[in-house]
Amino acid sequence: MYLQLSLSDLGLYFSARATDGGLACLVTCPGKPLGLATALSAASATLLALFWPFQTMQRVSERLVAVTWVFVILGFGLQELAKGAAVGCLERVLPEADNSAEWQRRNRLALLHQHQAARQDGTLAIGLDSAVDRLARLDIELKAVRSVLQAASASCH
C-alpha cells in the first residue's frame, strides 16, 4: 500500500507541472533537483517494500512490486489522458483569456479613459462626496453604539 501511494504521489509532481494536458508531463523534462528527488523517493519506496526491516509488517514479493509499478504507471497514464480530455473540453467551452502585454495595455488605457471621463462630467466628485457623507453617518452611528455600550457596561459594575 505504501509503495502504491508513494509512487502515485510522485506522479502528481509531474502532472501538476504540465498545463497542456494529455501526456505532456512526459515530454517536458523536470529540473535536476526534481528528477533526483523523484528517483531517490521511488527507489527508497521500492527498496523498503522489498526489504522491509521491521517485524510489524512483512516485505512484499518482487512480483507484487512489479505489478504495483505497472498499475501505478497505467493509472497515471489514464489520469493524464482524462486530464487532457477535460482541458480540451474546457478550452472549447470557455473563452480563452488573453494575458498578453498588449491586452494589459489596452485594459489600462480603457480604465484611464473611464477615469478621465468621470472626472470631466463630475461623477467622480459626486461619488467621492457621497462616500464622505456615508463615512460621516457611519462615524455618528459608531459613536452612538459606543456610548450605549459604555452605559451598559457601567450599569453592570
pLDDT band at 51 (very low <50, low <70, confident <90, very high): confident
Q: Tell me the per-residue pLDDT of 58-90, one tens digit each, with 9 for 90 and over.
A: 778 889 889 988 998 898 888 888 888 887 887
Mean pLDDT of the chain: 78
Same structural domain, 28 and 80:
yes
CB 6, CB 41: distance < 8 Å: yes
Which residues, in sequence order, are CB contacts of 13 under 8 Å at separation 6+? 30, 34, 38
What percent of the chain stands above pLDDT 70?
Answer: 79
The total number of structural domains in the chain stands at 2
Q: How far is CA 121 from CA 124, 126, 127, in A?
A: 8, 10, 12
Residue at which a domain ends, from 72, 93, 114: 93
Q: What is the pLDDT of residues 19-43, one digit of tens each?
A: 665 566 666 667 788 878 888 888 8
Contact 46, 81 (CB under 8 A): no
Note the pLDDT of residue 92.
Answer: 78
**86 and 105 belong to one structural domain:** no
Cell numbers placing 88: 480540451
Residues 79 and 124 placed together within one structural domain of the fold = no
Domain span including residue 70: 2-93
Half-sphere exposure of 145 (CA within 13 A, CB side): 6
Answer yes or no: do 51 and 24 share one domain: yes
What band does 8 get if pLDDT is binned at 50, 70 and 90?
A: confident
- Domain match, 58 and 115 both: no
Instruction: Please indicate, yes or no, whether residues 85 and 122 belong to a single structural domain of this protein.
Output: no
